[in-house]
Structures are given as structure tokens and as C-alpha cells.
A = this chain, B = another copy of it.
Amino acid sequence: MLGKLTSYSTYMDSAELSSSLRSVIAALHKGLRKQTSAAGAYSMTELETIGHLFRNPTLLPTELAALTRITTQSMSQILSKMEAQRVIKRTPSKEDKRKVGISLTAVGKKLVEKNLYEKDEWLKNEIERTLTDKEKELLAKVLPVLNKLIEIK
């Protein structure tokens, strides 16, 4: 079962690496979903959407959909929900009347600053509880590597 040794690892070839990575991603994702699904909280994708709007003053629905990797139709539904909650606002463009700028409302921004990181509490606690400082450092180092895997091409 063990793949042939290569230069990049004494233990794993890419097949085993991907299988193990899939496995741990599935488990972590389930842990996260269980957290966020508690009591009318934001879903994973809603959380991502809010995060993008926090870092970018305004974005189009299409752009948000691409960033969060869902269809524009699904994004449209999320936006309607968040608009009803006064978390985001839709501002139709004057140059191109098809376009609708999406941005956080004042209420939304306040809510985000107060709550966004709190939503990650579970994972944060898991990290602090189970990992050593050295492991945290390693994790921080590998994040850009993981992000390379999901770059939009």
C-alpha cells in the first residue's frame, strides 16, 4: 500500500497525501458545520460571504459567487436572506444597470466586528487546546500551501 519513496516525503506519495487530506478535510468540515449550524447562525458559505465583504467594500453577486464557489443563483438566495436581515445592502449600478453592488450595512459591519471571529470559537478552542506552539507555527506555515490548492484558475 505504501507508495514508492520520492524526494518530497519519506512516507507519502501524492495519492496517499490526497487521500489523507480529503479525510481530514471532511472531518474538520463536519466539525465546523456542526458549530455554525447552531441556533440560526450563519452557514459556512454565509460566513465566507460576510468575510469577503468585510475585506472588499463592494462586490457583485457574480464575484461573491465565484469567491465562495457557489452558483450565482445560490448566492442570490443568500443575499436576499441577508438583505432581509439588514446585514448587507444592494446598490444597483448607474453605469451598467444590470450590475448590483453588494456591501455590508452599518448594522452588518458592527455585527461582523462583534461576531465574525466568535463564530470560529470552536476551531480556535480546538487549536489552543490540542496543539503545541510548534504545531500552531507549522499550521500557520502550511495555510498558504493549502490556499495554493484552491486558487481560482
Q: Which A residues contact B (CB, under 8 angstroms)?
A: 6-9, 11-12, 14-15, 17-32, 44-45, 47-48, 51, 69-70, 116-117, 120, 123-124, 126-128, 130-131, 133-143, 145-151
Contact = CB atoms under 8 A, between A and B. Distances in A.
A23 to B, nearest CB: 6
B24 A133 contact: no
B22 A146 contact: no
Give the secondary structure class of A's interface: helix
Contacts of A24: 143, 146-147, 150
A59 to B, nearest CB: 16
Contact of A134 (B8, B51, B138, B149): B8
B143 A130 contact: no
A89 to B, nearest CB: 23
A78 to B, nearest CB: 14
Contact of A150 (B18, B27, B51): B27
